[in-house]
A and B are shown apart, each in its own frame.
Chain A
């Protein structure tokens, strides 16, 4: 059973990257994600819900969800709020939350750090990615109360006043944003990836960033931004997998005014 709640491995070995190593790394095969794993969502369990959708097939999911709906769901109210001190972006931050409160909800709703977004709330999309002790982590996969003593970096920590992190600058340069809703999560994922994998090539970048989803289609710019930050290797070295690699270093194709490779 894969623990859906745990994305706390190093970026190169996180579930996203494990997923990317599966042979089915095309949309046709299920975009870079493993098949649904039978798992009880720890957070839902802690939240007191008995509706933990466990399914290995979607038809099964539908039937089980239907069965769950028929039952009278037992309400187990969360335990009393507790005060915790979290180290967020280098600052000790006091916050009072229920034990069941996720880091995502705590950051967004209690602390107004809204750069991390609530998109799936089920550790699939990466829009809430933060860095915990140097590792890219889905904020929806952690409870706030379990993170005392950990070093948490949110996207807000990458821009202090006029001091803009180079990841943000690279995203702007390569137009790696459209609507912008997935962007902060991607920026944090790229930050963690680049820090852990200096010199990564395009193929590694594409595998390493498989844990985040964009709907507008900004992947080309994101890959170009990440490649600029890892400084790549020689252009030729990037083409280790001609079937998947972008042939040039530039996201905008051979006609880009910035030039190709």
Chain B
């Protein structure tokens, strides 16, 4: 061949599918209920398992008798997670699982179990630094200094001291964690609700003391994970063990309360910060100490992400983790950026107010300290400001022109994320009849992974989407990374473009030989192989040249070949009202301007952004884990008292994809995490703008708003 063949995306203007708004290919299956989730698997003979959990914050098992459960009609077996003498470290710890013919009978079994506990001292007040110290729960989690903070504070024009915070939230996956496990001989098939199809067979094998080759994990659909579904969990292992022991399939999904308590939380953060700026609004010093909890081990919001996005010349940062008797954290969409953003960018907004400057100008003024993304941020700020009409609507904090009790305000924040490609192996088959399919052990969490893959293959081969079948969600397919950290879209699109181009070049060579044309000039478009503008043959005819068996090409990634990239920014602005009599906040308009490299499917990309905004509105306004200090319990672990936004709560959302050619040229970058980062700070800043008062801790519930208003100006 004359020309060097190099993996690359085609010219943007030539794309038929890539970058367009394409409906997701599994949409009908999901909307019609035909899509089977792990929680839906109900093969013949399936037993249903229910859990006994301990509802104390800290305790020891004094006595445990699960035998009465076995006498309950329908109960077939029990699995003990704890034994007498074991420590219970937080509300919701699993004690016993009961498997029975029906869910009701399993619940009967759970209720028949006799258990006694010795109550131990607990600590659950994650906001209480002094209390944590007194209880011996505080653990230093690092500190970091650069420049000369003290000197900078002395020469600064203004200095602001602030306290801010953001509560713990739970992942609240609507499909709880769990699985359906079934043995056929020594072969385990686990339908697992997971973000990690390829990575979980080994977890079952290790726990079951069996060979991983005998484990198949299936995860065709997953009802939400958000970072919490990488491990099979002790409940997953219990499900497999009971299936093995009882010789029956077992389905064990966590109940709602247990899902909230133990299956994943996002750490809290609280911060005392001193921030200083010069007369021009340039921030010259940052001095902070933040704390919070990620669970019994302390932990919390990583030090390195404070102050968020900005990196000031003079900085001093310190972190303390508070070990609390609360369920363990798991990665929650963009860890720990939403908290870091909410703890940092509120202080920037407050010092802007203290300087008497427009918040926009201070965020802008300090962009050079954000590094390589400064130019993108500036462009995104302009676009967002225009969309929300910032210059016309902004007023100094607390000087809303509204006469009545309802005050309107604007706020902004900005974020960053990596989103580089994850590992992906795929096996692409081009059948002699021209149809195409691919196999990979990845998963579609609802982000549109299947659709993205189909688009990449169809675009590359010049076919309609209907000619392509995407097979994912089985651990028997080629390994693919777990889906977390926005690495999936880059991973799968890069690997599939490579495989598809490799396959296409082989087909071009066959066509060139058969039809005596140069392979260099061939293109696959509209179901034909073209030589310039001339049709050489149909796609099907070309594929027939491969022989009786399909052409099979392996795709790999990540590869540093320009198909994928990493690093995104993003700016969000919100326009809202605060009812100063009731404390209610109402979103009018929420604008997101998001860069993410080359967009494969604009429709599902925008859905990721809109979903991020809605999750962001939820944790900014209503969602939080509430621990009862007296009992050590998670007291709102249900869908009634754990407040998620509903369809009437979200206002107008505008998702603007920042897509100059320079972004297309970067290649594909992940998008799942970034849009959920900024809402907390943006909404808090808008409330401060509306009322002139900083409501220090998220979520901004009516009570917190009213308390702050009673306390006067921040």
Cβ-defined partner of B623 (8 Å) among A27, A108, A210: A27
Give the residue name and chain of the A residue nearest to B193 (CB). A181
Q: Does A198 contact B (CB under 8 A)?
A: no
Q: Is the CB of A27 within 8 A of B618?
A: yes
Q: Is the CB of B648 within 8 A of A108?
A: no
Cβ of A246: which chain B residues have Cβ within 8 Å of it? 651-653
Q: Does B187 contact A (CB under 8 A)?
A: no
Q: Whole-angstrom distance between the alpha carbons of A9 and B639 in the complex?
A: 21
Cβ-defined partner of B701 (8 Å) among A28, A66, A75, A210: A28
- B652 to A: closest C-beta gap in Å: 5
Give the residue name and chain of the B residue nearest to A258 (CB). B21
Q: Is the CB of A177 within 8 A of B27?
A: yes
Contact flags A52-65 to B (C-beta < 8 A → 1, else 0) = 00000011011101
Q: Is the CB of B654 within 8 A of A254?
A: yes
- B589 to A: closest C-beta gap in Å: 8
Q: Does B209 contact A (CB under 8 A)?
A: no
Q: Does A164 contact B (CB under 8 A)?
A: yes
Find residues 27-80 in chain A having any chain B CB closer than 8 Å to their own CB. 27-33, 36, 47-49, 58-59, 61-63, 65-66, 69, 73, 75, 77-78
Find residues 159-173 in chain A having any chain B CB closer than 8 Å to their own CB. 159, 164, 167-169, 171-173
Say whether, besides A119-B256, A217-B612, A24 and B639 are in contact (CB < 8 Å): no
Cβ of B628: which chain A residues have Cβ within 8 Å of it? 58-59, 62
Q: Whole-angstrom distance between the alpha carbons of A23 and B584 in the complex?
A: 9
Q: Does A251 contact B (CB under 8 A)?
A: yes
Cβ of A58: which chain B residues have Cβ within 8 Å of it? 626, 628, 635-636, 641
Q: Is the CB of B611 within 8 A of A216?
A: yes
Cβ of A135: which chain B residues have Cβ within 8 Å of it? none
Q: Does B413 contact A (CB under 8 A)?
A: no
Cβ-defined partner of A257 (8 Å) among B20, B650, B652, B654: B20
Q: Is the CB of A158 within 8 A of B32?
A: yes
Q: Whole-angstrom distance between the alpha carbons of A244 and B647 in the complex?
A: 10
Cβ-defined partner of B649 (8 Å) among A27, A176, A247: A27
Cβ of A120: which chain B residues have Cβ within 8 Å of it? 256, 638-640
Q: Whole-angstrom distance between the alpha carbons of A78 and B253 in the complex?
A: 22
Say whether, besides A28-B701, A243-B588, A245-B652, A69 and B55 are in contact (CB < 8 Å): yes
Q: Is the CB of B607 within 8 A of A175?
A: yes
Q: Is the CB of A181 within 8 A of B175?
A: yes
> Which stretch in B37-45, B339-347, B564-572 binds the other chain?
B37-45
Say whether, besides A27-B623, A254-B654, A255-B657, A179 and B175 are in contact (CB < 8 Å): yes
Cβ of B226: which chain A residues have Cβ within 8 Å of it? 215
Q: Is the CB of B611 within 8 A of A178?
A: yes
Q: Does B580 contact A (CB under 8 A)?
A: no
Contact flags A220-261 to B (C-beta < 8 A → 1, else 0) = 111100000000000000000011111100011111111000
Q: Does A213 contact B (CB under 8 A)?
A: yes
Q: Whole-angstrom distance between the alpha carbons of A3 and B645 in the complex?
A: 23
Find residues 180-225 in chain A having any chain B CB closer than 8 Å to their own CB. 180-184, 187, 205-207, 209-210, 212-223
Say whether, besides A75-B72, A109-B42, A31 and B645 are in contact (CB < 8 Å): yes
Cβ of A220: which chain B residues have Cβ within 8 Å of it? 610, 614, 650, 653
- A165 to B: closest C-beta gap in Å: 8
Q: Is the CB of A222 within 8 A of B640?
A: no
Q: Whole-angstrom distance between the alpha carbons of A113 and B445 in the complex?
A: 22
Cβ of B584: which chain A residues have Cβ within 8 Å of it? 23-24, 26, 28-29
Cβ of A26: which chain B residues have Cβ within 8 Å of it? 584-587, 621-622, 649
Q: Is the CB of A75 within 8 A of B112?
A: yes
Say whether, besides A27-B618, A122-B638, A168-B31, A209 and B583 are in contact (CB < 8 Å): no
Give the residue name and chain of the B residue nearest to A156 (CB). B33
Give the residue name and chain of the A residue nearest to B604 (CB). A175
Q: Does B36 contact A (CB under 8 A)?
A: yes
Cβ of B155: which chain A residues have Cβ within 8 Å of it? none
Cβ-defined partner of B31 (8 Å) among A29, A73, A171: A171
Q: Is the CB of B654 within 8 A of A59?
A: no
Q: Is the CB of B111 within 8 A of A49?
A: yes
Cβ of B352: which chain A residues have Cβ within 8 Å of it? none
Find residues 561-606 in chain B having any chain A CB closer than 8 Å to their own CB. 577, 582-589, 602-604, 606
Q: Whole-angstrom distance between the alpha carbons of A165 and B36 in the complex?
A: 19
Q: Does A86 contact B (CB under 8 A)?
A: no
Q: Whole-angstrom distance between the alpha carbons of A29 and B615 in the complex?
A: 16
Contact flags B485-499 to A (C-beta < 8 A → 1, else 0) = 000000000000000
- B21 to A: closest C-beta gap in Å: 5
Cβ-defined partner of A217 (8 Å) among B34, B37, B613: B613
Q: Is the CB of B174 within 8 A of A181?
A: yes
Q: Whole-angstrom distance between the alpha carbons of A100 and B104 in the complex?
A: 8
Cβ of A155: which chain B residues have Cβ within 8 Å of it? 32-33
Q: Does A14 contact B (CB under 8 A)?
A: no
Q: Is the CB of A216 within 8 A of B42?
A: no
Q: Is the CB of B108 within 8 A of A32?
A: no
- A254 to B: closest C-beta gap in Å: 6
Q: Does A142 contact B (CB under 8 A)?
A: no
Say whether, besides A122-B639, A183-B31, A215 and B174 are in contact (CB < 8 Å): yes
Give the residue name and chain of the A residue nearest to B172 (CB). A215
Q: Is the CB of B55 within 8 A of A30?
A: no
Q: Does A121 contact B (CB under 8 A)?
A: yes
Give the residue name and chain of the A residue nearest to B259 (CB). A119
Q: Does A5 contact B (CB under 8 A)?
A: no
Cβ-defined partner of A181 (8 Å) among B28, B224, B613: B224
Q: Whole-angstrom distance between the alpha carbons of A177 and B636 in the complex?
A: 27
Q: Is the CB of A63 within 8 A of B631?
A: yes
- B122 to A: closest C-beta gap in Å: 13
- B220 to A: closest C-beta gap in Å: 11
Q: Does B520 contact A (CB under 8 A)?
A: no
Q: Does A124 contact B (CB under 8 A)?
A: yes
Q: Whole-angstrom distance between the alpha carbons of A59 and B446 in the complex?
A: 36
Cβ-defined partner of B39 (8 Å) among A31, A118, A125, A243: A118
Q: Does B107 contact A (CB under 8 A)?
A: yes
Cβ-defined partner of A125 (8 Å) among B447, B615, B639, B645: B639
Contact flags B196-221 to A (C-beta < 8 A → 1, else 0) = 00000000000000000000000001
Q: Is the CB of B111 within 8 A of A62?
A: no
Cβ-defined partner of B73 (8 Å) among A77, A100, A115: A77
Q: Is the CB of A159 within 8 A of B40?
A: no
Give the residue name and chain of the A residue nearest to B620 (CB). A27
Give the residue name and chain of the B residue nearest to A65 (CB). B55
Cβ of B173: which chain A residues have Cβ within 8 Å of it? 215
- B651 to A: closest C-beta gap in Å: 6
Say whether, besides A28-B584, A73-B111, A212-B647, A175 and B40 are in contact (CB < 8 Å): no
Q: Does A154 contact B (CB under 8 A)?
A: yes
Q: Is the CB of A184 within 8 A of B32?
A: yes
Cβ-defined partner of A206 (8 Å) among B172, B647, B700: B647
Q: Is the CB of B446 within 8 A of A180?
A: yes
Q: Whole-angstrom distance between the alpha carbons of A135 and B582 in the complex?
A: 34
Cβ of B42: which chain A residues have Cβ within 8 Å of it? 108-109, 112, 114
> What are 6 of the A-B contact pairs (CB < 8 Å)?
A27-B645, A124-B639, A177-B27, A180-B26, A184-B33, A219-B646
Shortest beta-carbon contacts, A-B, top 6 = A115-B33, A181-B223, A217-B614, A180-B30, A217-B611, A27-B622
Taking A173-B23, A243-B651 as known contacts, 15 extra A-B pairs with beta carbons closer than 8 A to each other, sorted by chain A number, are: A31-B643, A62-B631, A109-B103, A114-B36, A117-B39, A127-B174, A156-B34, A164-B28, A168-B28, A180-B31, A180-B221, A207-B648, A217-B610, A245-B652, A257-B602
